[in-house]
Structure 1
């Protein structure tokens, strides 16, 4: 998971936004609209980042279509300390 997080957050464009999404979902599961409002990002931008994070098995979703709730995957929860180390690098 550390390699996946390093690539998704440090090795690609949009890593800072993805990291913010992970931090928000760690606190509380949310849908794309809620994340868009909370992070002050375009809805389409949020859905793009959610798709990338889901593809990399960092997050999971529950529900169908609009209003789907996103949450961190169990694997991500187990490696959240790795994320926090990468988060520190992003903020520098």
Structure 2
């Protein structure tokens, strides 16, 4: 099992709030969003989104560009390359 695969499994299934992180990853695969847009799209509290964004950034799952309010978030190249692993986790644990 590669590092990114282990990391995604841990972030989504091994920690509290994993489903919300998975939803953020899925949305960011579609296109870049800022935290406010993600909170509206996913119908989650803005502070909850900011918390999960911080965890995903610290683990190099997402990156950002722009200033604090309009900062856009993207998946890292490594996550994009391994998106099939994410889809497998999503199908097994999140879509249930």
Q: Which bin holds the TM-score, normalised by the shorter protein?
A: over 0.9
Q: Which residue of 2 aligns with 1:44?
A: 47
Unaligned runs of 5+ in 1: none
* Post-superposition offset of 1:73: 0.3
**Partner residue in 2 for 1:55:** 58
Q: 1:4 is matched with which residue?
A: 7
Q: TM-score, normalised by structure 1?
A: 0.97
Unaligned runs of 5+ in 2: none
Aligned equivalent of 1:69: 72
After superposition, what is the alpha-carbon deviation per residue over 1:43-83, rounded to whole angstroms, capped at 9, x for unaligned?
00000000000111010000121110000000000000000
Deviations 1:30-49 (Å, cap 9, x if unpaired)?
00000000000000000000
Aligned pairs, how many? 92
How high is the TM-score relative to the length of structure 2? 0.93
Q: Does 2:22 align with 1:19?
A: yes
CA distance in 2, matches of 1:82, 1:55: 20
Q: Which runs of 4+ in 1 moved over 3 A?
A: none
Aligned-residue RMSD, C-alpha: 0.6
Partner SS, residue 41 of structure 1 = coil
Secondary structure class of the residue paired with 2:50: helix
